[in-house]
Amino acid sequence: MQTLNEQERSELIRLLQNGEQIPVQWRSKLFPGSSQSVEIGKDTGRKVQGVAFGADGGVGKTDMTKIKTTRNVVKASANSDSGNLAPLITELRSLIHSARYSVATTVNILQVTTNYEIGRRIIEHQQKGEKRAEYGKELLKELSARLTEEFGTGFSPVNLSLMRKFFLLWKDRFSCQIFQTVSEKLPLGEISQTLSDNLATVQTVSGQSGKQSFTLSWSHYVLLLTIKNPDERSFYEIESCQSDWSFRELKRQVSSCLYERLALSKDKDEIRQFANEGQIIVKPADILKEPYVLEFLGLDEKTGYSESDMETAIIDQLEQFLLELGKGFLFEARQKRFTFDEDHFFVDLVFYNRLLRCYVLIDIKLDKLKHQDLGQMQMYVNYFDRFVKTPDENATIGILLCKRKKDAIVELTLPPEANIHAREYSLYLPSKELLRQKLMDWIEGTKS
């Protein structure tokens, strides 16, 4: 075995990497007895003569194909191990996400329960003490100062007042005895008692009430406290839970007057049902609201925009638009083309509602509704019913979103059983007072 110096080793490595010839003067060191230069080719598929270095700089003959084969085997083995780990990684990822979600949910519910109990005990203390309003204010200030000094932020007079109000508005819905038992366990419970044990206890409500326990975060309930109408407040609480609304989504739905807009499409019995069950989707009319609020599109009525601009804005804000449409909607296509009698037609937006198990076609009209628009939508619906939907799916629904609609035109153009509906849209958040008054007028009108 012969050796190369450090400089020669570095140069030889460079030559091998670049596929260049080995200098003639090194032949005797690398390949004793050989008088020919050896070309180290880049094509590693060929069998070529090469070199292998020892730890001391020694050089000997080896087979480059064998080296390449060994590297491939090692690489394949690594990839194989990685592939075998993929199912395990997926399972562990799901487990961790589920655990974190459960812990966050448990902590949220325990925080809400604690705040409920704080409010209850403040009320009970006030009932035993002075009846004056000044006493209540001073009590909250004193409690705030002491609790903040010991536990930090979160116990301002305003927050304590919210906890007090929270108990007053929710006290009739739950068993106080159960919550009192839980709250007594919170600070003194055994270390071995898990959060899930506490959660199971918190969610156990009196069998007589039959109602569910707290299911939202404290931020959600603070927002719900601003709603005066108890039926409306209950509706938003149920919908937030069932639809898994974030705080931001709940705030948007309240600001857009979802309750009033849905109620304007219902009869009195269905409005009362909102407070107990939330929005139930069993028939096409259940998905309708008046108007559809599209403020998130960022379009300005003062500047001109086309139907294409509006469609593009909807696609760009598809998540918000699906939230506005309501439960069960899935997006399928924009400008869906179909051909009939050698003519091409295009539906602006095609959705599918998994709860109603039917297609929902939406056409956008920037101005007032015309009878020709209704006839065109009737053709679209007929085509989908006859050639697109399967026999086990329900009839297609057509919705015309227009700036202005005329109920008289709709009634005269379409038969009563037509599954086509005209609804107005707004690019701005509606006036809550205006919608509430409109709802009251509608309720009064139904009585006469």
Fold of 244-447: Trna Endonuclease; Chain: A, domain 1 (3.40.1350)
Confidence at residue 128, expressed as pLDDT on a 0 to 100 scale = 74
CA triple 164-167-169, angle to 5 deg: 110
Cβ proximity of 405 and 369 under 8 Å? yes
The Cα 384–Cα 378 span in angstroms is 10
Confidence at residue 6, expressed as pLDDT on a 0 to 100 scale = 64
Confidence at residue 174, expressed as pLDDT on a 0 to 100 scale = 61
Confidence at residue 350, expressed as pLDDT on a 0 to 100 scale = 97
Confidence at residue 169, expressed as pLDDT on a 0 to 100 scale = 94
The Cα 179–Cα 181 span in angstroms is 5
Cβ proximity of 406 and 369 under 8 Å? yes
Confidence at residue 116, expressed as pLDDT on a 0 to 100 scale = 95
Q: Flag residues of the chain having pLDDT under 70.
A: 1-7, 9-10, 12-83, 129-135, 174-212, 268, 302-303, 442-448
Confidence at residue 107, expressed as pLDDT on a 0 to 100 scale = 85
Q: Where, residue-wise, is CATH 3.40.1350.10 in the chain?
A: 244-447
CA 260 vs CA 233, 241, 289, 391: distances in Å: 12, 19, 9, 36
